[in-house]
Amino acid sequence: MRGKRVLLREDLNVPLKDGRILDYKRIDSALPTLRYLADRGARTIIVSHLGRPEGKRNAKYTLKPVAAALSERLHCDVPLVPDVVGPAAQAAAESLRDGQMMMLENVRFEPGEERNDPHFAKQLATLADLYVNDAFGTAHRAHASTEGVAHCLPSFAGLLMEAEIAELSKLLNDPEKPYVCVIGGAKVKDKVGVFNTLMDRVTAFCIGGGMANTFLAAQGVDVGTSLRDDDLQPAQAMLEHARKRGVEMMLPVDAVVSAKFDDDAGAHTVDLAGVGDSMILDIGPKTAGAYAKTIEAARTVVFNGPMGVYEKKPYREGTRAVGEAMARATARGARTVVGGGDAAAAAEELDFAERVTHVSTGGGATLEFLEGKELPGIKALEA
């Protein structure tokens, strides 16, 4: 690829506050592909989005801080071109020399991006000779820079995209057993697809978060004022499905509760019978111990959501216990994967991200992959 201009789609949608980057994980995850291209003499044109500017220029969503961070981490100049397409972008692309790179301004400043406008995709394609999609986190979006442009240029997966597909595919294709899915989050209905896809594969589900309350309520347990789905039918159907398949659905036997969500000082542990009018905000120590024992005995573990409101100190021990058990399982040779989004944020916050096999950079993309859905950004590379 020496001398070739490569249009590289990355997901550098990092959290910012007052122009300061709060989390560099997505930037650091992109570095191997950027270095690979530079070392081989490619002329790299980096494309990314940031936030939701809705097709309009908005200084709040400029990629200037990201370009500066890349320059610092790569020890080379990564200039930000103020346009995405047009004469200025074309001239900048044509001025690149072997091994150099530049970044286009936020691709979502262009109204044609999220519409997957074929004309805009062709404009992007004119900047380069090859296209590489390394943005797994946006692979579930059929946008011009993630799907459309792949039909205009010879197209390839980047190293991060390749790694994500390889690791997540192992969770679906003949995983080693015992196989445990640790699943949390607010609502059962948001993860019905994951439950249904993994039901035929896993040995057990360890369930926490708001969705555990829904499953408990579906079994007739009084969960007080806890967050849960109004419709219990999906949870009831899933429990029956698991019973028929011989899959263990592990649910809390105790909980950390409080009278109100913002009453951290009132947090205390009760058995389920003692929830009363309180709100469940984390799994209790008995539950955490049972989950940890199951996880440590597993050969494959996927963590797909926190066990409680881990952002608050009184309600993070359940998620911490699960993470530590995953780390111990990893040390014993198990494959352990953190499924992106809130799960990845919890793993970073509670310091077990570096001690598992893989932490996905996707949020919605990871969820849809685990649901067995076809992701447009990946399908376009296979065409």
Has 339 been annotated as catalytic?
A: no
Q: What is the per-residue pLDDT for 186?
A: 84
> Tens digit of pLDDT for each residue in 309-343?
999 999 999 999 999 999 999 999 999 999 878 89
Count of structural domains within the chain: 2
Strand blocks (E) in 67-212: 80-81, 101-104, 130-133, 155-157, 179-183, 204-207
Residues 6+ apart with CB under 8 A from 351: 323
288 and 345 share one domain: yes
Q: Would strands 16-17 and 20-21 be described as parallel, antiparallel, or unpaired?
A: antiparallel
Last residue in a domain, options 125, 157, 189: 157
Residue 215 near residue 207, CB atoms below 8 Å: yes
Positions of the chain with pLDDT under 50? none
118 and 226 share one domain: no
Does residue 331 lie in a domain region?
A: yes
Does residue 378 lie in a domain region?
A: no
Instruction: Please identify which of the residues 184, 209, 341, 377 carries the catalytic annotation.
Output: 341
- Residue 246 vs residues 181, 235, 237, 280: alpha-carbon distances, Å: 15, 16, 14, 28
136 and 70 share one domain: yes
149 and 172 share one domain: no
- Residue 318 vs residues 237, 269, 284: alpha-carbon distances, Å: 26, 12, 7
50 and 169 share one domain: no
237 and 296 share one domain: yes
What type of residue is 295? I
Q: What is the per-residue pLDDT for 341?
A: 84
Does residue 376 lie in a domain region?
A: no
191 and 335 share one domain: yes
Q: What is the per-residue pLDDT for 340?
A: 76
Q: What is the per-residue pLDDT for 204?
A: 97
Does residue 383 lie in a domain region?
A: no
CATH of the domain at 15: 3.40.50.1260
Instruction: Please identify which of the residues 26, 108, 141, 320 carries the catalytic annotation.
Output: 26
Has 52 been annotated as catalytic?
A: no
Does residue 347 lie in a domain region?
A: yes
Has 341 been annotated as catalytic?
A: yes
100 and 233 share one domain: no
Instruction: Please identify which of the residues 41, 99, 289, 364 carries the catalytic annotation.
Output: 364
Q: For residue 316, give the 3-state DSSP assignment.
A: coil
152 and 172 share one domain: no
> Closest by alpha carbon to 187, among 221, 222, 224, 231?
231
Q: 102 is in which domain, residue-wise? A: 5-157
pTM, whole model, 2 decimals? 0.90
Last residue in a domain, options 126, 157, 188: 157
Does residue 342 lie in a domain region?
A: yes
Does residue 237 lie in a domain region?
A: yes
190 and 253 share one domain: yes
130 and 65 share one domain: yes
Has 210 been annotated as catalytic?
A: no
18 and 122 share one domain: yes
Q: What is the per-residue pLDDT for 188?
A: 87
Q: What is the per-residue pLDDT for 189?
A: 84
Last residue in a domain, options 132, 157, 182: 157
Does residue 9 lie in a domain region?
A: yes
Bridge-partner residues for 205, per DSSP? Answer: 181, 249
